[in-house]
Structure 1
Amino acid sequence: MCGITGFFSFQQPFSENQLKQMTGKLAHRGPDAEGFFFDGLCGLGHRRLSIIDLSSNANQPMTSANGQFMCVFNGEIYNFKEIRSDLEKEGVVFKTQSDTEVLLENFVKNGVESFEKLNGIFAFAIYDKLKEQLIICRDRLGIKPLYYFHQGTALAFASEIKALLTLPQVSKTISKTALADFLHLGYIPSDSIFSDIKKLPAACYAVLNENNLKINTYWQMAEKITANVIANETQALAELDVQLRRSVDLQMVADVPLGVFLSGGIDSSVVATMASQVSATQIKTFSIGFEEEKFNEAPFAKAVAGHLQTDHHELIVTAKQAQNLVIELIDVFDEPFADSSAIPTMLVSALARKHVAVALSGDGGDELFFGYGSYNWATRLQKPLLKKLYPIMAPLMAFGKKDSFRKAANMFRLPESNLTSHIFSQEQGFFSQQEVNNLLNQTSPFHPESEVFNRSLSAMEKQAFFDLNYYLPEDLLVKVDRASMRYGLEVRVPLLDHDLVTWALNLSPDLKYKQGIRKYLLKKVLYQYVPEKLFDRPKRGFAIPLAKWLTTDLKFLIDEFLDEKLVRQAGLVNSERVERLKNQFLKGGNFIYNKIWILIVLHQFAKKHL
């Protein structure tokens, strides 16, 4: 895994010194080597974290054998040996053992059609000296990041926003749409918080030449949903076992030590189980726990690790450790990001990096196999009888003292339009669309793109499809990438192998949620190898005791970042409404802690950048 930067311009507004400044901002992503290419028209920068072919021959930027193309690449191509073998049969001669060279020579041979052959996590840029054009590309699920700034015939790109912010051409003007989306969802599904900085969408490549910038799609998730589903349970169980084993085995290729994040939940336990079975040596596992018993999954992780006989490493997190990391969050993410599980993710990454350079994670299991409570809400809210009762039930629920009653009241008030995003927002306890409008004095609702499917989807499938397209790439995968790369750790996500994703999209929803059991089929696979009794407990997210900490060890964040004067000076939201929310929370309204957290993160960002 690495950090990449670059620019391409016929107007020559960029300099070699600017390229070095951009690349220097990504030193944490690649501590092993640094490289540059600059010819006036194009500049490419690279920071390397050596994983495959540790020799200097694999350093970047890399030049093709014919000298026409230059490449910088962040990620891993898991099937590079297979592609290399095919190219060698066609007469291609390789100088290194790296996947970068395979990626480049595959492009030389097959052009943009080569992207469809890639199985991996990647973001890369290829400069064609002869045609004077630049191509940038991103993996199918948006696992590896790629941001860009485009103005006229000039384009600059980077793995992280902080690199682009070094350029004087890039304005820090805030996107009002992104601000509204952040308050509603806790993450930014649009391009970025800055109007000038865009994200290259997942499964896309962009071509820039003297005439224009054109963005093309090479893979579409909606098109992978077939008319028929896999409904036979025996067949599905066997196929899922094979898919999981194949994906984990493929993603364990590395020339450096490798381990697994193990929370003790279903997804990470599946990955750890398969890794233990395909590995010739004992695997290392890593987990995080908390002093607060309600949030502490460390004993469960330890039990699974014991059964699998892994070399297990554990860290119990204190509020003090979290306090130290909170200050770093805005530097790590560059824009407002309210997923508080970023804190334990950073801590487990730091722990793992002491022992390995690569870790496998269980991200994707909830979205593919119906692991969230929001999927049940999606079904409930579509029932005709309940719809008639909403106006009566909502005010009654609102008076309930339990958080679950308040959540239900909010769910019953949701508008019909854009229901998937509203369900997600209220399941997380973020601001409703009406509350966003009040905070911003404007209406800017988030509209998920409409998709046409080859079959009618259930309410659960629609909600999961929303998460796969927005929550997963723009929250969970952003969190994992930034948190791990902060420490120079590469994290791979076997459950998001694109062939496994395609298979899961066509698994009958009745085998994902059956007899009231979420992730039914995934659990059946796991229980073939690990005793079911080790998971006999309610599902917990990878969460921290945020509500408690905000009234104790982290209360200083409220005092500093929700100070009335600071909020008013920032001018991002209605300061009077923020003051009312703050007072409500401090007087015992703990149930709004996620709204308070969003506002803290927003004003931490404002204090740094505005």
Structure 2
Amino acid sequence: MCGIAGFVDFTQNSSQNDLEIITDCIAHRGPNAAGYFFDGTIGLGHRRLSILDLSAAANQPMYSANDRYVIIFNGEVYNFQEIAPALDVKMKTTSDTEVILEAFVQWGPDFVHQLNGMFAFAIYDKQVQKFFLYRDRMGIKPVYYYYDGQRFAFSSELKSLVKLPFLAGKLTLNKEAISQFLYLGYIPRPNSIYAEIRKMDSGSYLVLNQHGLETINYWRLSDQVQADVWQNEAEAKEKLKDLVLSSVQYRMISDVPFGTFLSGGIDSSLVTAAAAQVADKPVKTFSIGFKDGKHNEAQFARAVSQHLKTDHHEFTVTEKEALNWVDKLTQIYDEPFADSSAIPTLLVSELSRQHVTMTLSGDGGDELFLGYGMYQWANRLQKPFVNTFKAPIATALSYLGNRYERAAHVFRYPSSSRIKSHIFSQEQYLFSETEIKHLLTPGFSAFPAIQESWNLPNRELTAMEQQAFFDMQYYLQDDLLVKVDRATMTHSLETRVPLLDYRLVEFALNLSPDLKVKNGVAKYLLKQVLYDFVPAEIFNRPKWGFSIPLGSWLKGDLQYLMADYLNEKVVTQLGVVNYTEVERLKKLFLGGKDYLYNRVWLLIILHKWLLHK
């Protein structure tokens, strides 16, 4: 895993110094080496975190054997050893970068279909001055870009583009992105917080020359939904088990020490169990716990570790150690980002980096196998009775205390066409569409538009599947994977996600929902595979996410954030939201409406970013 940045400037007003500026500000992504290519029009910059072929020969930018093409690459392609023998060229390194480049040279732009991995890479054809930029199928590796018809710029992180001299003074706030942030807690692609900068779509590549910019989608989630589904439980379980073992084995290819994040939950335990099956020595595992018992799952991770006989490293975090990261969040994520589980992710990454350079994580299991409670909401709200009587149901629930008042918000969905985003928003305790309309000042009142339906000609999905599909498109890619990428790369740690191998994704999309949730058991088939490795009784407990006690912290040691960023002077000066609504929200939260903590957190993060951008 590395960092890439660069530009194509047909006005030829950019310099190598500009390239070095935007590349070096993501040095944390690659502390082992830096490299640059500049020819007056195009600049390609690379920061390397050495994982495969640690020699200088594998440094980047890398040139093709015929010297016509140059590449910079972030990520890993796991099946490079299978591709290499099919190429008519003698390799000079044992890195996947060289294989990617020579495969492009010999097979053309559509060679990307042959790659299994997480990747973002740029290739430049020096002979015809054509530029290609690729992003992996599930958007595991990030790409931001700017294009004005004459100049194109890109980077692994937003902070690079903000530093680009030709963008100085030209970036403006994306008003739609602000409303999306308040609604979802993150900014979904293609938007970024800046109107002029976009997030590149997953499963696509861009082609740029002097005639313009073209986007080609080579893989879409919607295209993977087939008419037939896996229904036989025995056959489906065997297939899933094979895929998990294969995916994990691919992702253990490394020339540096590696381990796994182990929370003790289903997904991380399965990834760890598969790694233990494949490894020839005990797998290193890493977990953290908080002294707040409700948020401490360390004992469960310990139980899994003991059963699998891993080399386990456990770190008990104090509130003070966690709070140290709060002020750094807006710098790390570059735009408003409210997923507070970024804090424990930063902490476990910091611990892991003391021992390894690469880790495996269990991201994706809930979205692929219907693990979230919100999917039950999708099932409930589709019922005609609920649609007819949703208003009186919501009113009744609002009188029954905090827990039921939160549920009342879920029933207040604006229309069936926006029900997926509404369920997500209210399950996360965020602002509803109606609340946002009252909250934003007139100059910022933009509807949080987001695509919620897709053309699926082969099969109609159930309400639960549709909600999960929505999460695969947005929450997984634009929140969870962003969270993990920035948190791990802050510590120069590579993290791979075996459950998002595209073969596993395609299998899960076509697994019968009756095998995802069976007899009320969520992630049923995934659990059956896990129980082949680890006893089921270890997991007989309620699901608890990777979280922090944010609500209590905001009433305690973090209350200063409300004073600093949600006071009348700051809110009025920035002019994005109405202070009367902010004041009302603070009073309700501090007066006992504990479920409002995430709304307060959203406003703190937004104003903190606006004040310090």
Shift of 1:400: 1.4
Shift of 1:153: 2.3
Shift of 1:575: 1.8
Aligned to 1:521: 525
Aligned to 2:547: 543
For 1:444 and 1:55, locate their aligned partners in 2 and report how far apart those are by CA, in whole Å.
51
Q: For residues 28-47 of structure 1, what are the structure 2 equivalents within 5 Å?
A: 28-47=28-47
Shift of 1:568: 1.1
Shift of 1:196: 1.2
Q: Deviations over 1:359-386 (max 9, x none)?
A: 0000000000001011000000001122
Equivalent residue of 2:272, what SS? helix
Point out where structure 2 has 5 or more consecutive residues left out of the alignment: none
For 2:269 and 2:126, locate their aligned partners in 1 and report how far apart those are by CA, in whole Å.
47
What TM-score does the superposition give when structure 2 sets the normalisation length? 0.98
For 1:570 and 1:564, locate their aligned partners in 2 and report how far apart those are by CA, in whole Å.
10
Asked whether the 8 Å contact 1:153–1:209 carries over to 2, the reply is no
Q: Deviations over 1:522-555 (max 9, x none)?
A: 0111111111111010000111000011111111
Equivalent residue of 1:141, what SS? coil
Asked whether the 8 Å contact 1:7–1:42 carries over to 2, the reply is yes
1:140 is matched by which residue type in structure 2? R
Aligned to 1:591: 595
Equivalent residue of 2:587, what SS? helix
1:137 and 2:134 aligned: yes
For 1:14 and 1:607, locate their aligned partners in 2 and report how far apart those are by CA, in whole Å.
30
For 2:448 and 2:559, locate their aligned partners in 1 and report how far apart those are by CA, in whole Å.
31
1:409 is matched by which residue type in structure 2? A
For 2:137 and 2:433, locate their aligned partners in 1 and report how far apart those are by CA, in whole Å.
30
Equivalent residue of 2:46, what SS? strand
Shift of 1:443: 4.1
Aligned to 1:155: 152
Aligned to 2:490: 486
For 2:272 and 2:462, locate their aligned partners in 1 and report how far apart those are by CA, in whole Å.
31
Equivalent residue of 2:528, what SS? helix
Shift of 1:151: 1.1
For 2:493 and 2:323, locate their aligned partners in 1 and report how far apart those are by CA, in whole Å.
22
The equivalent position to 1:448 in structure 2, one of 439, 448, 451, is: 451
Q: Deviations over 1:226-273 (max 9, x none)?
A: 001100111111111111001000110000001000000000000000
Shift of 1:563: 1.8
2:9 is matched by which residue type in structure 1? S
Q: For residues 170-185 of structure 1, what are the structure 2 equivalents within 5 Å?
A: 170=167, 171-185=170-184
For 2:489 and 2:450, locate their aligned partners in 1 and report how far apart those are by CA, in whole Å.
31
Equivalent residue of 1:327, what SS? helix
For 2:300 and 2:481, locate their aligned partners in 1 and report how far apart those are by CA, in whole Å.
24
For 1:434 and 1:507, locate their aligned partners in 2 and report how far apart those are by CA, in whole Å.
36
For 2:237 and 2:102, locate their aligned partners in 1 and report how far apart those are by CA, in whole Å.
38
Aligned to 2:117: 120
Q: For residues 5-24 of structure 1, what are the structure 2 equivalents within 5 Å?
A: 5-24=5-24
Shift of 1:446: 2.2
Between Structure 1 and Structure 2, how many residues are aligned?
Answer: 605
Shift of 1:92: 1.1
Asked whether the 8 Å contact 2:175–2:446 carries over to 1, the reply is no
| CA 449–214 in structure 1, closer or farther in 2 if over 3 Å, else same | farther
Equivalent residue of 1:125, what SS? strand
Equivalent residue of 2:165, what SS? coil
Shift of 1:562: 1.1
2:427 is matched by which residue type in structure 1? E
1:567 is matched by which residue type in structure 2? V
Q: For residues 168-247 of structure 1, what are the structure 2 equivalents within 5 Å?
A: 168-170=165-167, 171-190=170-189, 191-247=191-247
For 1:169 and 1:397, locate their aligned partners in 2 and report how far apart those are by CA, in whole Å.
54
Instruction: Tell me which moved more, 387-396 or 34-43.
Output: 387-396
Aligned to 2:499: 495
Identity among equivalent positions (%) equals 54
Aligned to 1:94: 91
Q: Deviations over 1:198-249 (max 9, x none)?
A: 1110001001100101111011111111001100111111111111001000
1:545 is matched by which residue type in structure 2? P
For 2:94 and 2:591, locate their aligned partners in 1 and report how far apart those are by CA, in whole Å.
62
Aligned to 2:283: 283
Equivalent residue of 1:553, what SS? coil
1:474 and 2:513 aligned: no
Q: Deviations over 1:159-189 (max 9, x none)?
A: 0000000013323311011001000000000
What TM-score does the superposition give when structure 1 sets the normalisation length? 0.98
Asked whether the 8 Å contact 2:75–2:119 carries over to 1, the reply is yes
1:607 and 2:611 aligned: yes
Aligned to 2:380: 380
Aligned to 1:552: 556
Q: For residues 416-427 of structure 1, what are the structure 2 equivalents within 5 Å?
A: 416-427=416-427
Asked whether the 8 Å contact 2:339–2:479 carries over to 1, the reply is yes
Q: Deviations over 1:26-49 (max 9, x none)?
A: 110000000111110111100000
Asked whether the 8 Å contact 2:176–2:446 carries over to 1, the reply is no
Aligned to 1:83: 83
For 2:382 and 2:447, locate their aligned partners in 1 and report how far apart those are by CA, in whole Å.
25
For 1:60 and 1:35, locate their aligned partners in 2 and report how far apart those are by CA, in whole Å.
6
For 1:335 and 1:146, locate their aligned partners in 2 and report how far apart those are by CA, in whole Å.
14
For 1:317 and 1:324, locate their aligned partners in 2 and report how far apart those are by CA, in whole Å.
11
Aligned to 1:61: 61
Instruction: Tell me which moved more, 205-214 or 554-563.
Output: 554-563
Q: Deviations over 1:309-352 (max 9, x none)?
A: 10111111222112210111011000000000000000000000
For 1:69 and 1:204, locate their aligned partners in 2 and report how far apart those are by CA, in whole Å.
20
Asked whether the 8 Å contact 2:18–2:165 carries over to 1, the reply is no
Aligned to 2:298: 298
Shift of 1:449: 5.1
For 1:302 and 1:153, locate their aligned partners in 2 and report how far apart those are by CA, in whole Å.
56
Asked whether the 8 Å contact 1:259–1:285 carries over to 2, the reply is yes
Q: CA RMSD in A?
A: 0.9
Asked whether the 8 Å contact 2:71–2:122 carries over to 1, the reply is yes
Point out where structure 1 has 5 or more consecutive residues left out of the alignment: none
Aligned to 1:412: 411
Q: Deviations over 1:51-89 (max 9, x none)?
A: 0000000000001110111100000000000011211xx
Aligned to 1:323: 323
1:172 is matched by which residue type in structure 2? L
Shift of 1:133: 1.3
For 1:215 and 1:185, locate their aligned partners in 2 and report how far apart those are by CA, in whole Å.
27
Instruction: Tell me which moved more, 566-575 or 347-356.
Output: 566-575
1:601 is matched by which residue type in structure 2? I
The equivalent position to 1:505 in structure 2, one of 504, 509, 512, is: 509
Equivalent residue of 1:418, what SS? helix
Asked whether the 8 Å contact 1:418–1:446 carries over to 2, the reply is no
Q: Deviations over 1:102-128 (max 9, x none)?
A: 010000001111111010000010011
